[in-house]
């Protein structure tokens, strides 16, 4: 059984609304799992999905037919308002965070019963989602697909696994999910105590850090302990609020993002930066800040 939270309802709502937004479009169970993974970079559990669906059905935001889902008219109205605010790109919010604010008054419908899955049905949907994921991956990155199927961990994989073990030791309540076995990447989805998603992955001898919607940076070579230590410090800083991401936009287009951390005097210092070619344009821009308050 999962605990009731606006965050959970927002996660399920965004998975459905963001994956098949058109009027009348229905989403299959594997597609819903795909949407949940895409928007929150994490695999939703059976109990979380059941709880979220029951709450959203009770609130009149979605309809369920067997193992497919669709937005109601009310759900479409909420979805439009969420995406309209998200597209403004000024509040520093992820779609799930915006939806969470809109859905915070939804009562818990867990005790009322309702839609549910058997474990076999859920496992079958997960298997279908993973099969579809691998088929897509074979088309866009055959080498990576082969590596996943063979399941041979590299030294960088083990370093990432050790790093995450240390993060878990510091923050035992923090949810950290693997996309799929074998171990290659991990995601810390938006959750109580974490205002934005953080993802870590391995590419060859590189360790990669992704934060929010825009920022990513490579730490290379991962064979050097100082590189891994630097990455670990940035991850812990992002969780504690001692580091932050400052995104820069021209209109609705994200053109750059920088990772800043406090120095000993408390001043913000840039530690890493991502940018696109649009960042070279001499146009007015605005910024939004992603900073956590700590778990």
> What phi and psi values does residue 261 have, to the nearest 5 degrees?
-135, 150
Cα 11 to Cα 20, 38, 84, 201, 291: the distances in Å are 14, 11, 17, 22, 20
Mean pLDDT of 157-161: 85
Tell me the pLDDT tens digit for each residue of 212-229: 878 989 998 888 889 999
Rounded distance, CA 153 to CA 94, Å?
A: 32
**pLDDT tens-digit series, residues 237-295:** 999 999 999 999 988 888 899 999 999 999 999 999 998 888 888 889 989 999 998 65
Mean pLDDT over the full length of the chain: 86
Collapsing DSSP states into helix, strand and coil, what is residue 209?
strand
Domains of the chain in start order, with CATH, are 6-126 (1.10.10.10), 152-290 (no CATH)
pTM over 0.75: no
| C-alpha torsion 230→204→159→217, nearest 10 | 30
Distance CA 7, CA 13 (A): 10
Distance CA 196, CA 69 (A): 26
Of 294 and 198, the one with more pLDDT: 198
């Amino acid at each position: 059984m999962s605990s009731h939270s606006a965050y959970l309802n927002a996660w399920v709502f965004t998975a459905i609304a963001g994956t098949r937004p058109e009027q009348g479009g229905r989403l299959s169970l594997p597609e819903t799992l795909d949407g949940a993974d895409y928007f929150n970079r994490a695999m939703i559990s059976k109990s979380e999905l059941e709880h979220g669906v029951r709450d959203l059905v009770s609130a009149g935001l979605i309809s369920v037919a067997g193992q497919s889902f669709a937005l109601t008219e009310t759900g479409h109205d909420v979805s439009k308002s969420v995406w309209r605010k998200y597209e403004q790109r000024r509040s520093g919010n992820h779609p799930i965070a915006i939806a969470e604010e809109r859905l915070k008054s939804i009562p818990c419908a867990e005790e009322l019963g309702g839609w549910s899955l058997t474990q076999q049905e859920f496992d079958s949907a997960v298997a279908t989602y993973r099969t579809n994921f691998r088929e897509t991956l074979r088309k866009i990155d055959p080498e990576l697909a082969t590596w996943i199927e063979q399941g041979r961990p590299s030294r960088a994989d083990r370093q990432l696994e050790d790093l995450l073990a240390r993060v878990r030791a510091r923050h035992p309540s923090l949810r950290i999910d693997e996309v799929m076995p074998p171990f290659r990447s991990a995601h810390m989805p938006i959750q109580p105590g974490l205002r934005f998603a953080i993802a870590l992955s391995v590419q060859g001898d590189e360790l990669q850090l992704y934060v929010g919607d825009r920022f990513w940076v490579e730490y290379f070579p991962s064979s050097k302990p100082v590189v891994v230590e630097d990455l670990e410090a940035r991850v812990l800083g992002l969780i504690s609020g001692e580091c932050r991401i400052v995104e820069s936009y021209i209109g609705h287009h994200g053109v750059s993002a920088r990772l800043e951390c406090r120095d000993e005097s408390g001043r913000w210092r840039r530690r890493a930066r991502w940018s696109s070619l649009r960042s070279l344009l001499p146009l007015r821009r605005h910024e939004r800040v992603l900073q956590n308050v700590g778990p």
